[in-house]
Amino acid sequence: ADAEAGEAAAERQAQLTKPAGSLGRLEELALWLARWQGRPDPSMERPRVAVFAGNHGIAARGVSAYPAEVTAQMVANFIDGGAAVNQLSAWVGADLRIYEMALDQPTADFTQGPAMADDDCARAMAYGMMSVEEGFDAMALGEMGIANTTSAAALCLALFGGEARDWVGRGTGVDEAGLARKVEVVEAGLAANPEARDEPFEALRRLGGYELAAITGAVMACRLARIPVVLDGFTCTAAAAVLHRLDRHALDHCLVAHRSVEPGHARLLAALGKTPLLDLDMRLGEASGAVLALGLLQAACACHNGMKTFAEAGVSGKD
Amino acid sequence: ADAEAGEAAAERQAQLTKPAGSLGRLEELALWLARWQGRPDPSMERPRVAVFAGNHGIAARGVSAYPAEVTAQMVANFIDGGAAVNQLSAWVGADLRIYEMALDQPTADFTQGPAMADDDCARAMAYGMMSVEEGFDAMALGEMGIANTTSAAALCLALFGGEARDWVGRGTGVDEAGLARKVEVVEAGLAANPEARDEPFEALRRLGGYELAAITGAVMACRLARIPVVLDGFTCTAAAAVLHRLDRHALDHCLVAHRSVEPGHARLLAALGKTPLLDLDMRLGEASGAVLALGLLQAACACHNGMKTFAEAGVSGKD
C-alpha cells in the first residue's frame, strides 16, 4: 500500500467541511482506496465485477435446495441480464464479467478424496488471476455454484478448526435434514482429506472448487496490481481466507462487503478481523453484496474528492 | 399504505431468480416502497432531499464544538455545492433543496422558557409541509443547526422519559466539559418547561427548533401525499418521533437510514421500533445518512423491477 498517498488523503479529509470523523466509515473507505490505488484522490469511476461459476461433486449428496443444473441456468441468466447482479452492476455502473468454469465437469466428490487434481486447482487459480486487468478502480468478487456453501464450510473447518456445525448453514434454504446432511458431508470431507488441515492451498484443492480457486487467484492478482478488492459473502470470503492463513496481511487490500445470513460468515469475519460494511440479511452470493458495497465506495470517493475545505468554503472551525 | 400494490409486489418478488428472501432487506425495501407509492413496480428515479437549517438560543450555552455562525456558513456551503450532502445527492441523482429558516433569529433559550412561540412553531411546521411536492418517489430529510443535538436530546427526554444523560452525546465533538454542559442544559430545559412532558407538539414547541418543527411537518405531509420518507440521524429522527408519540403508526411510511454514533439515536430507534439500514459510524447530519440510504432504495428497485422470474429465465426451482 502507498502510505504517502494515504497520508495525503488523510490530510485532505481533516480539512473538509464536517466535524472530523463525522462521515465515519466513508472516511476510512476513502483513505483505504487512496492507499491501495496509490493516489490521494481515490477513484471509483471504473469498478469491475467478476463472478466465477463452478460445479461441485458433492451437489449429488443433497446439500442444496436446488439441483446442480441451476448453476448453468443462472450463468445463462447472468449473460442474459436477468439476475440480481446484473441490476446491481448497472445501478453502480460497473463492468460485469461472468467466468464459467467447465460446468459440465464438476469437481470430484470430496467425501471420497480431493475435489481437484493439483493441476486443475492450479489452472483454476491462474484463470482467476487472469481475470484481473489493469485500469480498474476496484474489483468486486463473487461466485455461483450449487453446493458451494458446503465446500466453503469444509474449507473453513480445515483452515480455522472448530466443529463442522460451526461453519454450516442453510445456504439457498435447505431444511433441517439438509442441514444435517451438510454437516455429515463436511465431516466426511475432512475425514477423507486429513491433509487439508496441513496447508491452506491443500485445503483449497481438496475441499474447495473451481470458482473458489479462481477467487483465491483473483485476490492475489489484485494485490500485485494494487487493485482494491471487495469480497462478497461466505463462499467468496472463504476462498480469500486461504491467503490469510498463509499471511495475516494478505487480505489488507480486501474489504468484506456485508455480513451474510450464512452463520459461518460471522465466524469467518472474526477469524479474519474484518468488519463488514453492510448487514442487510442477504445470502444470495453472485457478488450481490459486493456490488452494493461498490456503491458506498463511490459515495465515499464523491465526498472525499468533491467536498470543499473549511478554508475554501469560509466555514469556521471548532471553537 | 396500498396493501394491494404490496401484495402484487410480493408475488413478483417470490418469482424472481433467487432463493426466496436471499436479498434480505432489499426485498423488504422494495415491498415497503410498493405499498407507500401504491404501485407494484416501485420507482426511485426521482428522489428529493430536503435539508432544513435553523439556529438555537441554547447555542450560546457552550453545547457545541462549533460557533453558531457555522449554521449560516454551512448553508452557504450547501448552496455552493461544497458539503457532503451535495456530493451524496449528486451520487444518487437526487434533487437537493436547502431550507434556511430565519437563521438571524434563533429560537429562544429553552432553559428560560419555550424555544418557540405557538405561531412560530406552527409556521415552521407549515413551512416543512410545504416543502413536500407531488411527483417525488421518496423524500430524504435532514437538518443543520448548531446546538440541535441538545435540542433533540431535550425533546426525546420529554417524549420518552429517562435521564438527560441517556439522550445526550458528543454531537459535533464536544469534550467532557461540553458533555456535562449539554446534560445541564437539557435538565434545565425540562425544568423550565414541565408542560413539555404533557403533549408531543408542546414538547416540540418548547424544546425543539425551527428545523425540527419543519421536519415534523414534512413527515406529516409526506404521509398525506403517500411519499415514502427516509429519516437521517438523531436530530431528524427525534423530530419525527413527535408524531410517533401521538400515533404509533404515524411513522410507518418512514425508514431510518442509519444508526448515528450519537448515543441517543440507538435508544430512540428502540423506542420507535425501527431498525436502521446502515451502521457506518456516521454523525454528520445534513441528511448525509438518508441520502446514502436512497442509494440502497435505488438498488432494491433495480433488482425488483429488472430481474427475471424463474419462468422467464428458464431456471429450475427448489428440489
Reported as half-sphere exposure (CB side, CA atoms, 13 A), residue B71 has a value of: 26
Contacts with B190 (C-beta within 8 Å, 6 or more apart), sequence order = B154, B157, B158, B164, B196, B197, B207
Residue range A208-228, pLDDT digits in tens: 999 999 999 999 999 999 999
Minimum CA–CA partner of A17 in chain B: B83
Q: Rounded to 5 degrees, what are φ and ψ at B35?
A: -65, -45
Q: Quote the pLDDT of residue B277.
A: 98
DSSP state of B51: E
Quick check: is A195 catalytic? Answer: no
Mean pLDDT, range A60-77, rounded to an integer: 96
Strand, helix or coil at A139?
A: strand
DSSP state of B96: E
Chain-centroid distance, C-alpha B45: 20
| Partner-chain contact B90 A306, CB within 8 Å | yes
Of B66, B80, B296, the CB nearest to A319: B66
How many residues in total does chain A contain? 319
| Partner-chain contact B307 A82, CB within 8 Å | yes
Cα–Cα nearest to A310, from A98, A29, A17: A17
Q: Is the pLDDT of residue A27 over 90?
A: yes
Of B16, B25, B283, the CB nearest to A280: B25
Helix (H) or strand (E) holding A276: none
In sequence order, the β-bridge partners of residue B230 are B140, B255
Q: Is the pLDDT of residue A258 over 80?
A: yes
Q: Which of B16, B28, B71, B284 to mutate to test binding with chain A, by most A CBs within 10 Å of its CB?
A: B284
Query: Cα(B251)–Cα(B219) distance, rounded to whole angstroms?
Result: 8
Helix (H) or strand (E) holding B95: strand B95-100
**Chain B closest-CA separation from residue A261 CA (Å):** 9
For chain A, give the percent of residues with pLDDT over 90: 97
Query: Cα(A161)–Cα(A94) distance, rounded to whole angstroms?
Result: 37
Strand, helix or coil at A255?
A: strand
**DSSP assignment of B233-289:** SHHHHHHHHHHHHH-TTTTTTEEE-B--SSHHHHHHHHHHT---SB-S-----TTHH
Mean pLDDT of chain A: 97
Quick one: pLDDT band at residue A259, thresholds 50, 70, 90?
very high
Q: Is residue B315 one of the residues assigned to a domain?
A: no
What type of residue sits at position B297? Answer: L
The residue to which cell 452492476 is assigned:
A89
A64 is in which domain, residue-wise? Answer: 45-297
Q: Residue B200 in contact with residue B226, Cβ under 8 Å?
A: no
Q: Residue A6 in contact with residue A38, Cβ under 8 Å?
A: no
Q: Is residue B28 one of the residues assigned to a domain?
A: no
Q: Is residue A20 one of the residues assigned to a domain?
A: no
Q: Sort A20 into a burial class: Cβ within 10 Å, 0-12 / 13-18 / 19+.
A: middle
Query: Cα(A265)–Cα(A284) distance, rounded to whole angstroms?
Result: 13
Q: Residue B255 in contact with residue B32, Cβ under 8 Å?
A: yes
Q: Quote the pLDDT of residue A1.
A: 87
Q: Is residue B3 one of the residues assigned to a domain?
A: no
Contacts with B172 (C-beta within 8 Å, 6 or more apart), sequence order = A19, A22, A318, B64, B65, B66, B146, B149
- The total of structural domains in chain A comes to 1
| Partner-chain contact B82 A307, CB within 8 Å | yes
| Partner-chain contact B25 A282, CB within 8 Å | yes
Q: Is residue A177 one of the residues assigned to a domain?
A: yes
Q: Which residues of chain B have pLDDT under 50?
A: none
Buried/exposed code over A76-102 (b: 16+ C-beta within 10 A; e: otherwise): bbbeebbbbbbbbbebbebebebbbbe
Q: Quote the pLDDT of residue A147.
A: 97
Q: Is residue A21 one of the residues assigned to a domain?
A: no
Minimum CA–CA partner of A298 in chain B: B91
How many residues in total does chain B contain? 319
Q: Residue B219 in contact with residue B129, Cβ under 8 Å?
A: no
Residue range B36-83, pLDDT digits in tens: 999 999 999 999 999 999 999 999 999 999 999 999 999 999 999 999
Query: Cα(B159)–Cα(B153) distance, rounded to whole angstroms?
Result: 10
Grid cell listed for B11: 408475488
- How far is CA A293 from each of CA A163, A231, A285, B245, rounded to the nearest angstrom? 31, 9, 13, 35
Grid cell listed for A227: 487493485
Q: Residue A258 in contact with residue A237, Cβ under 8 Å?
A: no
What residues of chain A lie within 8 A of the CB of B94, using their CB?
none
Q: Is residue B66 one of the residues assigned to a domain?
A: yes
**Chain A closest-CA separation from residue B76 CA (Å):** 8
| Partner-chain contact A313 B18, CB within 8 Å | no
Instruction: Residue A298: count other Cβ atoms within 10 Å of its Cβ.
Output: 23
Quick one: pLDDT band at residue A198, thresholds 50, 70, 90?
confident
Q: Is residue A195 one of the residues assigned to a domain?
A: yes
Q: Quote the pLDDT of residue B198.
A: 87
Q: Is the pLDDT of residue A297 over 90?
A: yes
3-state helix, strand, coil in chain B (%, to 5): 55, 10, 35
Q: Quote the pLDDT of residue B318.
A: 80
Q: Quote the pLDDT of residue B1.
A: 87
Q: CATH number, domain at A261?
A: 3.40.50.10210
